[in-house]
Chains A and B, each alone.
Chain A
Amino acid sequence: MTSSAFSRWWRNLSDGVISTARGMRITLRTFLRKPVTVQYPDEKPDLGGRYRGIHYLEQDLCIYCDACAKACPVDCIEMDATRHGKELEWHAFTLDYNRCMLCELCVYPCPKDCIHQGEEYALVTEDREDMVRDLLTWKGLTEEQKQKVAEVEALKAQRAAGGGE
């Protein structure tokens, strides 16, 4: 064995020992660190506030302008409402999560800033139809709105009657 081979042997040996020790120090440090695991169904992970989860809609602000539906690249928003003057009678505002990729493109164009993505992400179902979510918080008209609509209609009728005479 030449002297260079011998010194290489020693270097290999000490390298092996040192790198093993170093590796074990690293794993020991991780071992002593607090685990990052979250016990999922019992605890929720901290999503950091900018998470793009399932949408929610502030229905009273929405003006049925269809901008979000037009912006969506995969056409998963569908909406239907009847206008009663200023009041809207909502029939449907659905979002098909079979197609939605949670890209947030529907959120930006909204003129009223009333569609948002929240921190809820659990979309587990047993039926694909369940993935078409209804974002409406109430359907049709509230009692208050019905009253307003009735008032408006009454005023119209009154005006029409008054004008005719």
Chain B
Amino acid sequence: MDGNFISHLLSASLPPGFPFWGLALLAAFLGALCVVGFVSILALVSVWLERKIAGHIQARLGPMRTGGWHGWSQTLADAIKLLTKEDVILRGADPVLFRLAPALVMGSALAMFAVLPFAPGVQFADIDLGVYFLLAVASLTTIGVIMAGWGSNNKWSLYGAMREAAQATSYEIPLALSLIPPILHFGTFSLLSATEQQSGWGGMQWYIFSDAFWVAIPSFFLFFTAALAENKRAPFDLPESESELVAGFHTEYSGLRFAFFFLEEYAAMFAASAVATAYWLGGWNFPGMTFLSTGSLWLPILGALAFLLKAMFLVCVMIWIRWTLPRLRIDQVMTLGWKYLTPLALGIMVAAAGWEAWRASL
């Protein structure tokens, strides 16, 4: 409870006799509201970015008309359209699982944001398990996707779900293994403490610039690749591959429930980028931050800006990759995961462990 800035704010403004559980519930509710708002805006911006980047990569312009300046409100209009659409539930679908799946997916995507350190003092909960918690929660989206695929009672959805099951379980291993070098380096699962350890002269004491850069850089790329696959992003978007499975696991979803799957994708992209930012790219640290006094209000603002900029840059790279590489075949996905990424991640893990042990022995 103590890392949460919302509960700090609340406990300062509420009457002293207020019960603790009430405070906790209220803080959780407000925090969830904040996360939902943030994720919605994030998705709007990222989808717009995705379309613009996709357009320019194909020498097009992307949306230009809605809202005036470069079609900035195109995604807003689409969101409104999605919300007003009919929510179709098939007669043959499993009524419970079909309804439960988007909620599970969305809930786990939102829960990931609880441990992301946005700026000094801006984090919903600094739990000791940080990134481990994040991995666990992220793995719940897999269940949600399988649930959606099964509950839809549609062969394309089922294929999508099976691919997701195979792909997610395979890539969870290199994903987790590639996180071990920074965890060893900082000696903590907590993203907050890792970020704090990276603040130094001029804010450039990032992990990939540290003396362990030769394990940091490959592990960063490994993490990024595995995260792409884990988030079903192209070229690993087999669970929804629209050329053969219509839309994969969310073929039968419409309206708000479809929007949940859509939001989850962008939320998960951002969360993965945020983890990469916090562990490898110095989190909220930015060059020149040492000139600011510690209590200054600019620190959280500029820190959040730096964090968002770095994370959004990585999101843009994900988009860039999506519009560069064609989708892999399922056997290629499996080969890449098991025969290339997993051994590489193991090797890097051993190298990182050796390096950290050697450094500790000095």
Contact = CB atoms under 8 A, between A and B. Distances in A.
A35 B55 contact: yes
B59 A30 contact: yes
A39 B56 contact: no
B61 A35 contact: yes
Nearest to B53: A31
A12 to B, nearest CB: 7
A24 B326 CA distance: 12
B324 A27 contact: yes
B64 interface: yes
A28 interface: yes
Instruction: Sort chain B's interface into a size bin.
Output: 10 to 19
B224 to A, nearest CB: 11
A13 interface: yes
Instruction: Sort chain A's interface into a size bin.
Output: 10 to 19
A37 B339 CA distance: 43
A28 B55 contact: no
B58 interface: yes
B320 A28 contact: yes
Contacts of A27: 57, 320, 323-324
B320 A35 contact: no
B57 A30 contact: yes
A36 B61 CA distance: 8
Nearest to A23: B324
A30 B64 CA distance: 18
Contacts of B59: 30, 33, 35-37
B340 interface: yes
A9 interface: yes
B321 A31 contact: no
A86 to B, nearest CB: 55
B324 A35 contact: no
Interface string B44-58: 000000000101111
B60 interface: yes
B297 interface: no
Contacts of B64: 39
A103 to B, nearest CB: 31
B96 interface: no
Given A35-B60, A37-B59, A24 B324 contact: yes
Contacts of A16: 336, 340
A20 interface: yes
A42 to B, nearest CB: 10
Nearest to B332: A16
Contacts of A12: 340
Contacts of A9: 339-340
B325 interface: yes
Interface string A1-44: 00000000100110010001001101110110101110100000
A91 to B, nearest CB: 45
Contacts of B53: 31
20 contacts: A9-B340, A16-B336, A16-B340, A20-B324, A20-B325, A23-B325, A28-B320, A30-B56, A30-B58, A30-B59, A31-B53, A31-B56, A33-B59, A35-B55, A36-B59, A36-B60, A37-B55, A37-B61, A39-B61, A39-B64
5 shortest interchain CB distances as A-B pairs = A37-B61, A27-B324, A23-B324, A27-B57, A31-B56
Interface of B: 53, 55-61, 64, 320-321, 323-325, 336, 339-340, 344
Given A23-B325, A30-B59, 10 more contacts: A9-B339, A9-B340, A13-B344, A16-B340, A20-B324, A23-B324, A27-B323, A31-B56, A35-B55, A37-B60
Interface of A: 9, 12-13, 16, 20, 23-24, 26-28, 30-31, 33, 35-37, 39
